[in-house]
Amino acid sequence: MMAFALLLLAITFHTTSVVFLLAFAYWHFSDTKYKKLLFSAICGGMLLAIASFYQLLKILGRFGVFSKVYMERYGMNSQYEGERVPFAFMAVAAVILLGIMLSYWKKVLSSNENFFLLLIHTSFMILMSLNFLVNNLIRISHYFYALDLVLMAVLLTSRKIHMGYKILLPLVIMAMWFYNYMYLNGSGTYPYKSQILGIY
């Protein structure tokens, strides 16, 4: 209940956070007997939604879900031309997927918990492809990436997970952060500037 209340609060800051409602649905249906069918339906649905992104954006805009600013920023003629997904993010996604596989093989989590983690991580990986349509839309995937990292922290506390992996994952995440935000200056974060704070 607390998590849902925090999500409602987050939506008042940024409407894109509504996508995290999927996480609640994933948890609710994680104990299904039809895991393969559900996984295929979710992946197919998300890929179809991404393929119809501009059309969906127009429909949601008409209903007032998104403001005119977002419609112009993320629409078909956006000023933010789509770019490839950064290799650093793909590397982190691959290492996390390896961790999920290790968890499954070594039975670190229950079947339902592991399936929930797989759904969260798959959503992260699929939503990263939004960056091909509009640069910076990769941010939407970060809602799932954050929960990804929390769940991976749980895995890293298990004695069943090899020490080599426990060292590899943090190193890859730190390397990704350095490469994407320090070397490539992702989101203009380095060197940091702020007119509001008077930092130039």
In a domain, 78, yes or no: yes
Q: Which domain holds residue 159?
A: 34-186
Where residue 123 falls among pLDDT bands split at 50, 70, 90? very high
Token pair in block for residue 164: 């080599």
Question: For 195, phi and psi rounded to 5 degrees?
Answer: -70, -35
Note whether 126 and 51 are within 8 A (CB): no
Longest alpha-carbon distance in the chain: 56
Where residue 68 falls among pLDDT bands split at 50, 70, 90? low
In a domain, 23, yes or no: no
In a domain, 15, yes or no: no
Give the chain's domain count.
1
In a domain, 139, yes or no: yes
pLDDT at 78 over 70: no
In a domain, 200, yes or no: no
In a domain, 63, yes or no: yes
Token pair in block for residue 42: 């979710």
The type of residue at 125 is M
Q: Determine the pLDDT at residue 39.
A: 95
In a domain, 108, yes or no: yes
pLDDT at 45 over 90: yes
pLDDT at 187 over 70: no
Q: Determine the pLDDT at residue 66.
A: 64
Q: Determine the pLDDT at residue 106.
A: 92
User: Whole-angstrom Cα distance, residue 72 to residue 171?
Assistant: 38
In a domain, 152, yes or no: yes
